[in-house]
Structure 1
Amino acid sequence: MALSARDFKYPNQPCSWNERDLILFAASIGCGEKELQNLYEKHPRFSAFPTYPVILQFKGNSNTVVDYYSNVLKPPPIPGKVERVIDPTRVLDGERHIQIFKTLPISSVGRSFELQTRVIGMYDKGSSGTVVETEALLVEGSDIYCRILRSSFAVGQGGWGGPKGPSRHILSPPHNRSADKVVVIETLPELTLLYRLNGDYNPLHADPAVARKAGFERPILHGLCTWNMTARVVLSAFTTEGDALSEFQARFTSVVYPGAILVVEMWNLGYVNPANTQSAERIMEVRFCTTIKESGKKALSNGRALIKVKQETSRL
């Protein structure tokens, strides 16, 4: 009898990083003078940009270039009377969601971090493909630093008779008013070649022949590069505190080519928790979307961020 996909657990994945890794990541997602605490190791508040852990699913504990397909976590076999192995060369990112519980140290040297990853859903979308959902916990001992939810789509690898899965939860921005803040990102033509040095060496983002074989005119930008650049924009638009991000999520909707101009629209929905004199902070909810200016297509949709805002205490 085939193992249920929901029972599938990946081997624990050791993870490591140092100050240089954090600086490279920050530079590759567009951090600048306003985020010097993420770029300069001698800054008094030098720290990891809060979404850095999402790259660890690719980097692991490697400190050099690795073959992407031999290093990436393989999806579990598609269950059924005859198990089918998912082709990782035809798997696309669907959505990413990070929940942050503890601030990362600036280096893992001398410590023992690992990602504990399991499948939490596998859904049959017919001839179009299969959705695989995973949960990854970044842990050190009993301490959980963050939780990363990932949805991937195995193109053309469906039709195995499995469950269709729950309806998508739509996180739309308000339709009755314009965005509260709009920021434009001009991406560099070479950006994908820089971002891959964080540890995601998928040749789709560097090799023109591989990109053409996959149906693209040239190498495309990593979806997580767009996702992380948007996280930087959203966070800096509403706070100067680098550790204020509590949650961040978005769905990958369209591919982005390096050199594209991206427009990030943001709506402040207010606080999700009531004022509490016993609490030092409140949680602000921001909805957002990222649009490719040249085509008008959404690069990211279903965007939502939760940002911690320090609450002023009464002097009475």
Structure 2
Amino acid sequence: MNSPADWKGRVLGERTVAYTDRDPILYALAIGARPDELDLVFEDRLRVLPPFALTLAQWAPDVLGSAGAFEVGNAVHGSQRLRVLRPLPPAGEISMRARVPEVWDKGSAAVYDVAVESDYFVATWSLFCPGIGGFGGERGPGRPPALDSPDWTVPLSTADNQALLYRLLGDRHHIHVDPAAAAGIGQPRPILHGLATLGAGALVAARQVGAHPADLTSLEGRFAAPVFPGEELRVEGWSDGGLRITSERGPVVDGGRVHFG
């Protein structure tokens, strides 16, 4: 396949992934769960945070890169969407199927949407791949519009070892641990996973609005800039579910939405 457009509609296969209760507990800790949030960190009463599903489905965008759709070292995780269908069990096996529903032409880059479907969730990655645009496809969605002043703002501290914890959940790309790999993408040091930042923001939002974080029904966000482990962030929220996460350098997640049942 020579053109990014040729990948539209491509089926990426099926996979069944098993996990134990250790994994959703590790996920909760990696995005900032507190010791007193026992039903997030204690197996005897465990409720699984829905964005944990994204760690189970990470295989799908990796399959697309390995198949040669784009240069893996140059691709950037542009945005993420998650729709929850049913609560995940504390442990078990999840069967998933993946495909490429859309490929967008941004001129200088191509954007691949990778959708993963299961009985429990539907998750969609958008992968921004520079240098392979201009193939004559539709441009697709633009950047989200700027938002007014938020209804609430809460500080969010990231931990120095947060990327090291989060990568144990399956996303072991070297830019999250190896300074040389981070330098290869123009960053001064390893960066935090965008999904760790987004998950941490959803956890903060649940606390702020008085919802249980395991009752999350949908989550999305666009990754606007990198986060460095140890940075101080701010989570900004709107009464309609709007979500934005910023650092002192500006937005790191924008166009966000989070809803709870």
Is the 1:15–1:114 contact (alpha carbons within 8 Å) kept by the matching residues of 2? yes
Taking the TM superposition and a 5 Å limit, the aligned residue runs for 1:216-231 are 216-231=187-202
Q: Secondary structure at the match of 2:25?
A: helix
2:260 aligned with 1:307? yes
Residues 115 and 172 of structure 1, relative CA distance in 2, 3 Å threshold: farther
Q: Deviations over 1:233-279 (max 9, x none)?
A: 1122113424321111110000111111110011112xxxxxxxxxx
Distance apart, 1:101 and its partner CA: 0.9
Q: What's the % identity of the aligned pairs?
A: 27
2:94 aligned with 1:119? no
Taking the TM superposition and a 5 Å limit, the aligned residue runs for 1:20-169 are 20-43=22-45, 46-58=46-58, 72-75=62-65, 85-108=69-92, 112-126=93-107, 128-138=108-118, 144-159=119-134, 161-168=135-142
Distance apart, 1:180 and its partner CA: 2.3
2:128 maps to amino acid: F
Distance 2:230 2:208 in 1: 23
Distance 2:211 2:35 in 1: 12
Distance apart, 1:85 and its partner CA: 4.2
Taking the TM superposition and a 5 Å limit, the aligned residue runs for 1:235-314 are 235-269=206-240, 286-293=241-248, 295=249, 297-308=250-261
Distance apart, 1:34 and its partner CA: 4.9
Consecutive unaligned residues of structure 2, counting only runs of 5 or more, are none
2:188 maps to amino acid: E
Q: Give the aligned length.
A: 259
Counting helix residues as a fraction of each chain, which structure ranks higher? 2
Consecutive unaligned residues of structure 1, counting only runs of 5 or more, are 61-70, 78-83, 139-143, 270-285, 309-316
- TM-score, normalised on structure 1? 0.76
Q: Match of 2:186?
A: 215
Residues 59 and 164 of structure 1, relative CA distance in 2, 3 Å threshold: closer
Distance apart, 1:97 and its partner CA: 0.7
2:259 maps to amino acid: L
Distance 2:208 2:199 in 1: 14
Distance apart, 1:74 and its partner CA: 2.3
Supply the RMSD in Å over aligned alpha carbons: 2.2
- TM-score, normalised on structure 2? 0.91
Distance 2:238 2:255 in 1: 12
Q: Match of 1:276?
A: none
Structure with the greater alpha carbon radius of gyration: 1
Is the 1:86–1:154 contact (alpha carbons within 8 Å) kept by the matching residues of 2? yes
Distance apart, 1:106 and its partner CA: 0.5
* Counterpart among 8, 11, 16 of residue 6 in structure 1: 8
Distance 2:12 2:59 in 1: 16
Q: Deviations over 1:172-217 (max 9, x none)?
A: 54x2xx4222111111122111111111100111111111122111
